[in-house]
């Protein structure tokens, strides 16, 4: 390999690996990974951010002269796994919010009113889409996007390009963290589900004591009104509730970087 090609590889390879890591992250995080986001625009933004981070990235710890296809694929897999772990850290929060919206919509009776979610391209209850948008705005409001860009920049220092594949504990930690989206969904939807459950029990007792009353006609407006009322309370408490999951996402990123 002549000196000119060697110099080109030394300049090009770090940019390629940085772009792979950031590109995988952007394909998983909300908004950038949405169906409405053009892939070409996402790639341009990822390339622009890669060029910004290139001067502050530690030098490439790879023997360029001894590089082969198998080693190159291993390094690319390393960057893909790192990108997945960072994208997963944020995606779990919004997946938990969507689960909460689906549970609320099912309890209120909105599960039959499904619309196309522009972010995922799948059908979801209106409550799920609404809570997803609210959570995204709160994430921007609390500077979650700045925290995420900082995490990407620090990842190149804690897990530089050219290190080996993650240890076995990484996969178990990722599974445990991903399971937290169900905890987020249940905690967020608990006030609405609990209240409507008590209302259902009360309506059941009324229907037993007054059989002449058409409880189905009476229950629909009551369930919708009380469900929407407590859903508004949940939305007002979401900025305080999401601080914990966002902090856990940061801790998961930092902990997962140490497993590489």
Q: Which of 150, 11, 10 minimizes the C-alpha distance to 89? A: 150
pTM of the model: 0.81
Give phi and psi for 70, each to the nearest 5. -65, -45
Is residue 4 scored above 60 in pLDDT?
no
Q: Which of 168, 171, 222, 158 minimizes the C-alpha distance to 195? A: 222
Residues 27-54 pLDDT 10s:
888 777 666 677 788 888 888 888 888 8
N-terminal to C-terminal alpha carbon distance within the chain: 30
| Number of other CB atoms surrounding residue 238 within 10 Å | 18
pLDDT attached to residue 83: 84
Residue 166 tokens, joined = 């993650």
Mean pLDDT for all residues in the chain = 80
Domain of residue 181, residue span: 3-257
3-state secondary structure of 249: helix
Residues 74-117 pLDDT 10s:
888 888 888 888 888 888 888 888 888 888 888 887 766 666 65
Residues 205-255 pLDDT 10s:
887 777 777 777 777 788 888 888 888 888 888 888 888 888 888 888 888
C-alpha 132/C-alpha 115 separation (Å) is: 13
Contact 101, 129 (CB under 8 A): yes
Residue 5 tokens, joined = 């090609």
Q: How many folded domains does the chain comprise?
A: 1
Share of the chain above pLDDT 70, in %: 84
Region 138-150: what's the mean pLDDT? 83
Q: Is the dihedral of CA 12, 18, 20, 22 positive or negative?
A: negative
Q: In which residue are the tokens 């940085």 written?
A: 18
Q: What are residue 116's DSSP bridge partners?
A: 123
């Amino acid at each position: 390999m002549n000196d000119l090609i060697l110099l080109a590889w030394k300049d090009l390879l770090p940019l390629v690996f940085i772009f792979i890591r950031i590109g995988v992250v952007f394909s998983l995080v909300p908004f950038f990974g949405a169906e409405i986001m053009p892939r070409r625009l996402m790639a341009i933004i990822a390339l622009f951010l890669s060029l910004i981070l290139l001067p502050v990235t530690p030098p490439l710890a790879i023997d360029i002269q001894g590089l082969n296809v198998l080693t190159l694929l291993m390094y690319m897999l390393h960057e893909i796994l790192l990108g997945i772990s960072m994208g997963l850290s944020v995606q779990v929060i919004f997946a938990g919010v969507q689960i909460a919206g689906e549970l609320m919509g099912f309890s209120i009776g909105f599960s039959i009113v499904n619309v196309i979610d522009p972010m995922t391209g799948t059908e979801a209850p209106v409550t799920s889409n609404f809570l997803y948008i609210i959570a995204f705005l709160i994430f921007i409001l609390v500077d979650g996007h700045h925290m995420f860009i900082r995490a990407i920049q620090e990842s190149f220092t804690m897990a530089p390009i050219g290190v080996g594949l993650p240890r076995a504990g990484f996969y178990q930690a990722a599974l445990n963290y991903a399971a937290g989206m169900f905890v987020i969904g249940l905690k967020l939807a608990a006030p609405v589900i609990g209240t409507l459950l008590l209302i259902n029990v009360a309506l059941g007792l009324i229907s037993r004591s007054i059989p002449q009353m058409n409880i189905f006609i009476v229950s629909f407006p009551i369930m919708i009104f009380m469900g929407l009322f407590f859903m508004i309370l949940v939305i007002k408490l979401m900025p305080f509730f999401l601080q914990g999951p966002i902090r856990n996402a940061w801790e998961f990123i930092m902990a997962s970087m140490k497993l590489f």
